[in-house]
Amino acid sequence: MKNFLALILTLFLGFLIMSSLNNNIAFPKFGEANIGDRVSDAYIDRDVTENPGDVIFGETDGLESGPANIVTAIVADYRSFDTLGEVTVLFVSALGVALLLGTKKQKRLEIDFHPNFMLRVGSKALFGVILMTGIYISIHGHLTPGGGFPGGSMIATSMLLLYLADDNFRAKVKGFKILESIAGSLYVLIGIIGLIIGGSFLVNILDTGVIGELFSAGIIPIVYVLIGLKVGSEISNVIDNFLTEEGA
Amino acid sequence: MNFASIEMILMITLASGVLAYLIGKLNAKLGSIVTILVSMYVTIAVIYFGYNGELVITTEYLPLVTFKVTNIGLFFASTVTFVFAMVSFFNPFFIDKYKFKALYSMLYIFSLVGILGVFFTDNFMTLFVFFEFTVWSSMFLIPMGKSTKSTTLYFAMSTIGSFALLYAIFLMRSQSGSFDIDQGLAMVSGAKATWTYILLSVAAFAKLGAFPLHLWLPKVLGDAPDPVTAVFSGGLEKLGAFVAVMGLVRLAPVSFNIGAIDMDFARYVIAFIGSITIIIGTLMAIRQDDAKKLLAYSSMSNGGYIIVALTIGNGIAISGALYHVLAHAIASAAAFLAIAAVARKTNTTKMSELGGMIHNMPITYMVYLIAIISMAGIPPMGGFISKWMIFQAVINKGLPIIAIGVFFGSIGSFLYVFRPLAALFLGQQLPEYKHLKEAPFFMVLPMIILSGLIIYTGVLPNYILGKINEIVVDLGATAVTITEYTITGFNGTIHPALISGMFGVGVFVAFLIFITFKKSKKVTLMDTYTAGEFIYTEELLHYSVDFYAPLERLYEKYIHIMEKTYDSIRNKIAEVGHFFKYYFFTNKPEVSVFWIVIIVSLLLWGESLW
Amino acid sequence: MLQYAAIVLIMLGLYGILTQRNVIKIILSLNIMEIGLNLFIISVGYVTDGIAPIMTTNHNTNSLIYVDPLPQALVLTAIVIGVGTTALGLAIAKNIYSKYGTFELDEMEEE
Amino acid sequence: MSAVLLIAVPLLAAFISILNKKLAPVLLLLVSLFNIVSIFFYSLGTITIGGFEAPYGISLVLDNYSLIGLIVINIAFFLVLLISYEKVKKVATVLLVALAGLNGLLLTGDLFNLFVFIEVSGIAAYLISTTNKKYVATFNYLVIGTVGSSFYLLGLIILYAMVGTLNMSDMALRISSEGISAANLSLPFLFMFIGLGVEAKLLPFNSWVKGILGNSNKLVGPMIASVYAGTISLVFGRILTSVFVVSDRLGLILTVILLVGIVAGETMAFASTKLREILLYSSIAQASLVIILFLEGITGWAVMMVIANVISKLVLFAIASYTSDELKTDEVDNLKGIFSKNKIIGVAFTIASLSVSGLPLFMGFVVKMNVLTSIFDGEDYLLAAVILLTSIVEGVYFVRVLIKLWYNKEDAKTINYNFVIKYIVSVLAVLLIVFGTYTTVLNDQVETVNEVFEIGGNE
Partner-chain contact A26 D184, CB within 8 Å: yes
**Chain D positions in Cβ-Cβ contact with residue B573 (cut-off 8 Å):** 267, 270-271, 393
Cβ separation B590–C110 shorter than 8 A: no
Testing the interface with C: which of D135, D162, D171 to mutate, by most C Cβ within 10 A?
D135
Q: Residue C31's pLDDT is what?
A: 93
The SS3 call for residue B512 is helix
Contacts of B601 in chain A (CB under 8 A): 9, 12-13, 16
Phi, psi (rounded to 5 degrees) for B530: -125, 135
Please judge whether D271 and B132 are an interchain contact, meaning their C-beta atoms are less than 8 angstroms apart: no
Query: Distance from A94 to chain D by nearest Cα, in Å?
Result: 11
How far is the C-alpha of B324 from the C-alpha of B326, rounded, in Å?
Answer: 5
Q: Is-contact A90 D88, C-beta < 8 A?
A: no
Q: For residue B588, list chain C residues with Cβ-Cβ distance below 8 A.
A: 105
Distance CA B145, CA B148 (A): 7
- Domains along the sequence of chain C with CATH: 2-47+66-107 (1.10.287.3510)
- For residues D81 and D98, give the distance between their C-alpha atoms in angstroms, rounded to a whole number: 12
Q: In chain A, what residues touch D2 (CB-CB under 8 Å)? A: 195, 200-201
Instruction: Report DSSP letters for B252-267, one per residue.
Output: ---S-EETTTTEEHHH
CB C45 within 8 A of CB C72: yes
DSSP state, residue A62 = S
Domain boundaries, chain A: 42-246
SS3 assignment for B167-235: HHHHHHHHHHCCCEHHHHHHHCCHHHHHHHHHHHHHHHHHHHCCCCCCCHHHHHHHHCCHHHHHHHHHH
Contacts of A240 (CB under 8 A, 6+ apart): A105, A159, A163, A170, A171, A173, A176
Which amino acid is located at D65 in the chain? Y
The per-residue pLDDT for D455 is 43
Sign of CA pseudo-dihedral B135, B138, B141, B142: negative
Task: Give the whole-angstrom CA distance, residue B335 versus residue B328.
Answer: 10
Distance CA D47, CA B567 (A): 58
Contacts of D203 in chain B (CB under 8 A): 580, 584
C-alpha distance from residue C1 to each of A28, B211, C6, C69 (Å): 13, 69, 9, 20
ipTM topping 0.90: no
Cβ–Cβ gap C74/D150 under 8 Å: no
Residues in B touching D281 (Cβ below 8 Å): 577
Q: What single letter denotes the amino acid at residue B316?
A: I
Please answer yes or no on whether A68 and C14 come within 8 Å at the CB atom.
Answer: no
Residues C55-107 have pLDDT tens digits of 888 877 777 788 888 888 889 889 989 989 999 999 999 888 888 888 888 87
Kindly report whether the peptide bond that precedes residue B440 is cis, defined as omega within 30 degrees of 0.
Answer: no
Cis, peptide link before residue B218, omega less than 30° from 0: no
Q: Across the interface, which of A28, A92, A200 has its CB nearest the CB of D48? A: A200
CB contact under 8 A, D157 and C88: no
**How far apart (Å, rounded) are the C-alpha atoms in residues B295 and B303?**
12
For residue A3, the SS3 value is: helix
pLDDT at D456: 41
Helix-helix angle B441-459:B382-397, to 10 degrees = 40
- Inspect the interface and report whether the beta carbons of B576 and D264 lie closer than 8 Å: yes
D363 touches chain B (CB under 8 A): no
User: Going by C-beta distance under 8 Å and a sequence separation of 6 or more, which residues neighbour residue D310?
Assistant: D72, D73, D76, D226, D227, D229, D230
A125: CB partners within 8 A, 6+ apart: none
- The torsion defined by the Cα of A183, A185, A187 and A192, in degrees rounded to 10, comes to -160
Beta bridge partners of A90: none
User: Measured in Å, how far apart are chain D's first and last C-alpha atoms?
Assistant: 19
Q: Write down the domain spans for chain B.
A: 1-144, 560-609
Residue ranges in chain D whose pLDDT is less than 50: 455-459
Mutation test of the interface with chain B: which of A9, A23, A24, choosing the one with the most B Cβ atoms within 10 A? A9
Q: What is the mean pLDDT of each run of 10 residues along chain B (610 residues)?
A: 69 84 83 83 81 66 70 85 86 80 85 86 84 84 78 86 88 82 78 84 84 81 82 82 82 71 78 86 81 83 85 82 87 86 77 73 84 80 83 79 81 78 73 73 84 84 81 78 75 79 85 79 61 57 64 75 83 86 78 82 74
Q: Output the CA–CA distances (angstroms, integers) from residue A195 to A218, B139, D37, D426, in the order listed.
A: 15, 58, 20, 40
Q: Say if the Cβ atoms of B597 and A10 lie within 8 Å.
A: yes
CA distance D269 to D283: 9
Q: CA-to-CA distance for B416 and A34, rounded, in angstroms?
A: 89
**For residue range D103-160, what is the model confidence (pLDDT) as tens digits?**
999 998 888 999 999 999 999 999 988 888 888 888 888 988 998 899 999 999 988 8
Quick: pLDDT tens for A131-172: 889 888 888 888 888 788 888 888 888 888 888 887 777 777
